Structure 1
Amino acid sequence: MTLHILSQQNTVLNKFIAEIRDKSIQRDSMRFRRNMERIGEVTAYEISRTLNYSPRVVETPLGEATVQTIDDRLVIATILRAGLPYHQGFLNYFDDAQNAFVSAYRKSTKDGKFTVKVEYISCGSLEGKTLLLVDPMLATGSSLVLAYNALCERGGEPLHTHVAAVIASEQGIDYVEKNMPRQTTTIWAAAVDEELTSRSYIVPGIGDAGDLAYGEKI
């Protein structure tokens, strides 16, 4: 399984990461959403470099031109609600992709522990397609793996899966590597943090991505 950490290169991506981490800037929910979207766009571009292409002849007003176009049939999937701005960044670039959505949430118990529940899935066929499973925060990895399994149960097995996260924990990456098909999965993270709190929040992370994008929930 291949892991790409995009912040290891000095690009404009690091500006967007700095702004979503900065507690004084991230209070602007519109700017936060746009930065998540831009990180999705940059990640989509990087993923596009690894896809399959073939030549296509297009007719211009003055003749014909041969261009390389993507062969992969793409499906972009995210977990509601936090993933929506990030998802939109991918859709801006892969604008003819299919889309899939999973509703998953943490069900807490009195002792402070929690389990992840999947409630809703909207998904077409994944057979013979390339799945882009995008989730801004890859913390424990359990929500993402549950979402992947639910999507496959509904839509079938994709040819290849690209897991993309804005901020990932080392523990979350390790969980995905152990619980998803190693030969057909690639992980992309804009940044990787080492620590998880007892409530499974990434440190230093960014806080709650869904609340920052759309307001606090009760």
Structure 2
Amino acid sequence: MVENLHRDYGDFKLDIDSWEILDEGVTVLWGPSGSGKTSVFRILLGLESCPGFKWTYQGTDLAKLKTPDRHLGVVFQTLDLFPHLSAEENLMFAARARKVDPAKANARLKELSSILKMESFLQRPAAVLSGGEKQRVAIARALMGEPRLLLLDEPFSALDQELRDESRKLVKSVIETEKIPTLLVTHDQRDVEILGNKVTTIRNGRLA
């Protein structure tokens, strides 16, 4: 349960008293550009301050924890891979950052490579991967440390139209296989139709 998401940006106010993010499945935060989705996302991650904000998840107030200690898997719209590292090196870097035991990290790498069909490009630098391949690496990287929740920010927006539905179905199957609660932030109605278990609409900083 998220409570007291109130922040005044001067020209824009975020004004959310309470909002439930599901403990399983996909909660979608849907709304047009400028509605406040990105502000909510950044506050949940701890990238922006929000005095009085609470986020209770399985008995823990995540809002009181520093960003790394919130233990969230995150995929930004820009994907943010290290271009000079291979797909595998990107994943193992994330595992080290999360202090995952090396043996467990290797097992996790094999598991996620299989689920996300990445075996054919694991050794290629991220810079030369296609948009769909980069997206799969970014999702696998977010899952390497077995996070509490997965947070996706417009994860399909950079893909060509024909790739989007395929990617949505793949992400949906990964979320179901991993049984990881997920927050998807999007302005795309198709994301809502394919992935959403619960949909919350945001307009002008308020939940509709």
TM-score, structure 1 normalization: 0.35
Structure with a larger share of its residues in helix: 2
